[in-house]
Structure formats: C-alpha cells, structure tokens
Amino acid sequence: MLSIQNAFVNYGESTVLNDVTLTVPAGQVVCLMGRNGVGKTTLMKSVMGLLKPKSGTFYLGDEDMTRWPSSKRARAGIGYVPQGRGIFPYLSVYENLLMGFESTPTRKPDTAALDRVYHLFPVLKQMGKRVAGTLSGGQQQQLAIGRVLLRDPKLLLLDEPTEGIQPSIMQEIEEIILRLREEAAMSILLVEQFLDFALKVGSYFYIMETGAIVLDGPVAQFNEDKAREFLAV
C-alpha cells in the first residue's frame, strides 16, 4: 500500500531523513520506533505531503505520489492523525467530526460512517455537543482517530497515539487497531514509543536512528537485546 524508496528529506541544510526505504503492505500494521528526534514525525509528514523530499520516491499502491499535494493524498485515501492530535479546540466534538468529510468527493456528512465511528468510540456520540478543547487527552485522541476513520482511509498514519493518555483509553485504541488489522480493513503506519503497545498491534517493525533505518523485521522476530541500543533513553 505504501512504499518509500531512498528518501532524503532536509530541514534547510540539515538532512533529517537519510536514504529511508520502508514498505507498508496492504492490510498490515507497521510500527516505526526510535528515540525522540530521530526523524519519525518527519517521515510521517513526508508521506502526507507536508514536507517535500530532496530525493527519493513515494508510492501509494502502484502510483507515484512523490509530487502530489497533501489534498490529493487525502482524497486518494491517506488519513493522518498527527502527534498532538490536531483537533479544533473551539469547535464541538460533532463539528470536529464533520471536518473529516471535507476531503470526501461530496464533502457531505455520511450517517453510516458516523454510526461506525460512534460504534468504535461511543463517548464521541455522548459528548457530541461538548467543546472539543474541554475533553481529556484520551478523549481528544479518540476524536482525532474517529475523524480520520470517517473517510475509511486505505492508509492510516498514526503518530504517537498513546502519548499522554490514560491506560483505559490506550487499551481501547489497541483493540481498535487490532480489529482493523484482523479485518485487513486498511494499512497502518504507526509511530510509537511505547514498546509493549507497538509489539502487540504490529506485524512488522522498523527502528530509526539519526534519520536512517537501522533495524527492521517481523514483530515475531523482534530481538529486544538488539533493539535496546536504539530505543533506550
């Protein structure tokens, strides 16, 4: 579903992604791990088209999307939940959800899609009239994920979904990712610092260090001793 080949991305004169090659197969959950500041969020923004690569190629399925703007990527089926959630704090929960339809062909609310999200996250229906900025961190994360799932994306980018949320909601998000994986409903690229969470939901892993992929393989073959030197703080 996603293929990145030999990607270099710079901030000014500084190289942040250094010859990154990565694949997310259809229907699989791929975990991208590494310490803070190694380039994980830069990679996610590059996939979404928010940053332009200096060189390298990005494919969505068989299509070269390297030069596509973010809007075209969204319409083609990429959903992005950024680190920090990116909700609209002064809009209601329901109004935030409606924003999820902006990149659909009709830009109109889909009742069936809303019902599916409410089934996954019942709290969003219960708190539909609440101002989103008053929700807890975990509830805001549910809102951010739910808003993206409304469009039923082919490829879901999740950047640190467990950051700053309570264990009960972390468990709910874990169950939803596992359900999506079991249904092979979409491909997921997950950036995650919490190792246990990543290994539970992922099928394949990549570890980054200073902008480069230094270790990868099936989660079933994850070697904690090898990984520790790149993950330990």
The token pair that represents 162 in the structure block: 């467990």
Element (H, E) at 218: strand 212-218
Mean pLDDT of the chain: 87
Instruction: Summarize pLDDT for 118-163 with one digit per residue, the tens.
Output: 988 888 888 888 898 888 888 888 889 888 888 888 899 999 888 8
Adjacent-strand bridge partners of 31 = 190, 205
What whole-number distance in Å separates Cα of residue 135 and Cα of residue 139? Answer: 6
Helix axes 137-149, 167-183, angle to 10 degrees: 20
What whole-number distance in Å separates Cα of residue 207 and Cα of residue 217? Answer: 9
Instruction: Grade residue 20 by pLDDT with cuts at 50, 70 and 90.
Output: very high
What whole-number distance in Å separates Cα of residue 177 and Cα of residue 120? Answer: 11
The count of other CB atoms within 10 Å of the CB of residue 33 is 24
The token pair that represents 81 in the structure block: 């939940």
pLDDT tops 80 at residue 22: yes
Contact 157, 121 (CB under 8 A): no
Instruction: Grade residue 191 by pLDDT with cuts at 50, 70 and 90.
Output: very high
Q: Coil, strand or helix: which one is 214?
A: strand
Dihedral sign for Cα atoms in the order 4, 8, 11, 14: positive
pLDDT tops 60 at residue 25: yes
Instruction: Summarize pLDDT for 222-231 with one digit per residue, the tens.
Output: 888 788 788 7
Task: For residue 75, give every residue at least 6 positions away whose Cβ sits within 8 Å of its Cβ, in sequence order, or none.
Answer: 103, 104, 105
Adjacent-strand bridge partners of 157 = 80, 189
Instruction: Please name the CATH architecture into which domain 2-85+154-231 falls.
Output: 3-Layer(aba) Sandwich (3.40)
The ranges assigned to domains in the chain are 2-85+154-231
The count of other CB atoms within 10 Å of the CB of residue 92 is 15
Q: What is the pTM of this model?
A: 0.88
Which ranges in 28-136 belong to alpha helices (H)?
Answer: 40-48, 70-76, 93-99, 111-120, 122-126
pLDDT for residue 226: 82
**Beta strand residue intervals within 106-203, DSSP E:** 155-159, 187-191
Q: Coil, strand or helix: which one is 81?
A: strand
pLDDT tops 90 at residue 116: no
pLDDT for residue 14: 83
